[in-house]
Structure 1
Amino acid sequence: MQLLPGAEPFVHEGSPTGVLLCHGFTGCPQSMRPWAEHLAARGLTVSLPLLPGHGTRWEDLQHTGWQDWYATVDRELTALAGRCEEVFVCGLSMGGALALRLAARRGDAVRGVAVVNPAVTFPRGRGLALGVGRFLVPSTKGLTGDIAKEGVGETGYDRVPLHAAHSLRRLFRLVREELPQVTQPLLLLRSTVDKVVPASDSALVLASVSSRDVTERVLRDSYHVATLDHDADRIFQETDDFISRLSTRKTARDRT
């Protein structure tokens, strides 16, 4: 199956500090690639996988579920932990939910978590309708492309397959239940204007985790896909500062 432009996974071998990045629902690595490339330029070991069902056709996503998406990032974390001394996990939107679940379930394997506009809830009315509606209607309008910066687009699906959306709802429920198990340092960046994920999701994450080291940053010039928007450089710098503060290792650039 041919991949969409920019949907290719990204891997960079660098220092003993690893970073795993998780993209969002119906999106692909393209939305995270500048973040990944920035971290790679810092000398870190970076992995940005393509989640199953993504990056090709929306019909392919219809045949996958949260277990497939989570299994992929869980395997990548195991692989990074096998060749790095410490691993940080980052995520955008649904990728933020996956990152938080990794932190909750994998404990010391995750040194810290950085999430951008994390999604952990599903609109109640839509969620209930999915129970039956997904057997009647295969898809609905897409979610990608919520970016304030002119001339910038997100590569992803223009349709949301409803079977996959139903599975996404189940993932969010599990993540909400597990948030108190998140004890690692947390960096949360949220946009003031987000047409995809409500601000209450970030508030719920902050109120539910058990982390003592929590940093919240507000992004005032970006929409949902902030990693491609006006605040992208700020996200990258905040992540640099977060990792540098917590890391027991120094990147190649830090040593120069």
Structure 2
Amino acid sequence: MILPGAEPFFLPGGREGVLLIHGFTGLPAELLLMGQYLHARGFSVLGVRLAGHGTTVEDMSHMTWEDWMDSVRDGYALLSGFCDTVDVIGHSMGGLFALLLSSEEKIGKVVTLAAPIQIAEERGIKFLPPREVCNNQFVPKARRRLKGVPEAVNNTYRKMPLIGVHELVDVIEKTKGCIDKVTVPVLIMHSRDDHTAAPVSAEYIYDHVQSHIRRICWLEESGHLLPVAAEREKVFAEAAAFLQAPDA
């Protein structure tokens, strides 16, 4: 059963679509404000729910990164049936899926929000136990309550499955392995004070995509949760301008 407020959302608008992809242990609601902003500017917007998210953390522990990628592919198929072009915006792990999707399908433009090519050292990723001992193992996941956001945003999982962290690492490695196939215009947004996705991740993406049009937009005080953080209006405006620009 999907938790209240954790459902995917569709905001029908014009013939240019935007697929929004949330991150690891996140929810579509984390991108709802951004979706509403883009919808008000004429886009059709679909916020997908990755498999095993917005239900139970035990459900998530049975999912692989391919299950999550299939959720993204399903969202693209639905939106491309409604729109002439599809752009993709992904937050955190969702940004990696946005890059992966652009290497598989005909995508207009990609915007990554705090995509983690390298996980920050303070997250203790080097202490992750081997995969074979991670089944049915969970660790606490703390997060402060946010104001002025959809209620569901503050009801995300309070623990995460260690086996899922291995799947996240697999997504990172898969992205690094095919990032040179990304040729569409890319806007890379990242906060310098991100303590989850190391800021060097933005530079890696910029250096390795093959896009002729690519740009990094740095934020100073947004941490990791760019779509719901203090500078979110800047994030929304920069993304919308990039998608609307005729030459990206």
TM-score, length of structure 1 as denominator length: 0.87
Q: How does 1:80-159 map to 2 (within 5 A)?
A: 80-106=79-105, 109-122=106-119, 125-127=126-128, 129-135=129-135, 138-142=137-141, 144-145=143-144, 154-159=154-159
- 1:73 partner amino acid: V
Q: Distance in 1 between matches of 2:183 and 2:48?
A: 25
Shift of 1:168: 1.6
* Deviation at residue 2 of structure 1 after TM alignment: 4.3
Structure 1: which amino acid aligns with 2:108?
R
Q: How many residues align?
A: 241
- Secondary structure of the residue aligned to 2:171 is helix
Residue type of the alignment partner of 1:125:
K
Match of 2:245, SS state, is: helix
Measured in 2, the distance between the counterparts of 1:246 and 1:73 equals 26
Instruction: Pick which of 116-125 and 81-90 moved more.
Output: 116-125
**Which SS does the other structure have where 1:32 is aligned?**
helix
- SS of 2:155's partner is coil
Q: Distance in 2 between matches of 1:14 and 1:207?
A: 34
Separation of aligned partners in 1, 2:39 and 2:188: 21
Partner secondary structure for residue 240 of structure 2: helix
Q: Measure how far apart 1:130 and its partner are.
A: 3.3
Residue 80 of structure 1 aligns with an amino acid whose one-letter code is: L
Alpha-carbon offset, residue 8 of structure 1: 1.7
The secondary structure found in structure 2 opposite 1:88 is strand
- Counterpart residue type for residue 68 of structure 2: W
Q: How far 1:154 sits from its partner (Å)?
A: 4.0
For 1:41, give the aligned amino acid. Answer: A
Contact 2:90–2:113 under 8 Å retained in 1: yes
Is this contact kept in 2: 1:121–1:173, CA < 8 A?
Answer: no
Distance 1:175 1:64, change over 3 A: same
Secondary structure in 2 aligned to 1:174? helix
Matches within 5 A, 1:215-230: 215-230=215-230
Q: Deviations over 1:36-58 (max 9, x none)?
A: 11111112111001111111221
**Please, which runs of 5 or more residues in structure 2 have no aligned partner?**
none
Q: Is the 8 A contact 1:51 1:72 kept in 2?
A: yes
Q: What do the CA deviations read for 1:146-177 (whole angstroms, capped 9, x no partner)?
A: x8x76766431111101222122111111111
Checking the alignment, whether the CA contact within 8 Å between 1:26 and 1:144 is kept in structure 2 is no
Displacement of 1:143 after TM fit? 6.1
- Is there any run of 5+ residues in structure 1 with no aligned partner, and where? 249-256
Structure 1 vs Structure 2 CA RMSD: 2.1
Structure 1 residue 77: Cα displacement: 1.0
Alpha carbons of 1:223 and 1:87: their partners in 2 closer, same or farther (altered >3 Å)?
Answer: same
Distance in 1 separating the partners of 2:228 and 2:85: 27
Which amino acid counterpart does residue 117 of structure 1 have in structure 2? A
Q: Distance in 2 between matches of 1:196 and 1:181?
A: 26
Residue of structure 2 equivalent to 1:205: 205
| Percent of pairs with identical residues | 29
Q: Deviations over 1:189-219 (max 9, x none)?
A: 1011112111121121111110110121111
Kindly provide the amino acid, as one letter, of the partner of residue 245 in structure 1: A
